[in-house]
Structure 1
Amino acid sequence: MNEASDYGLWSLVFLNSAIFIFFAFSFVKPKTKTDWRSLGVFSAFIVALFTEMYGFPLTIYLLSGWLTEHYPNINFYSHENGHLLHTFFGLKGDAHWDPFHVASMVFIVAGFFILSSAWNVLHHAQKNRQLATTGWYARCRHPQYLAFILIMFGFLLQWPTIPTLVMFPILVVVYVKLAKREEALAISEFGELYMNYIKTTPSWIPNLNVNFEGKNNENTH
Structure 2
Amino acid sequence: MADTDKSPDSSRRSERSRRAILDASLALVGEVGYNKLTIEAIAARAGVGKQTIYRWWPSKAAVLLEASMALSGDAEDEGEWTGFPDTGDIAADLKHVLRLTVDQFNDEKYEAPARALTAAGAIDRELGEKFTRQLLEPALVLYENRLRAAQAAGQIDADIDVRIAVEMIVGPLTHRWLQRTNPLTHDFADTCVDQVLRGIAPR
TM-score, normalising length: structure 2: 0.32
TM-score, normalising length: structure 1: 0.30
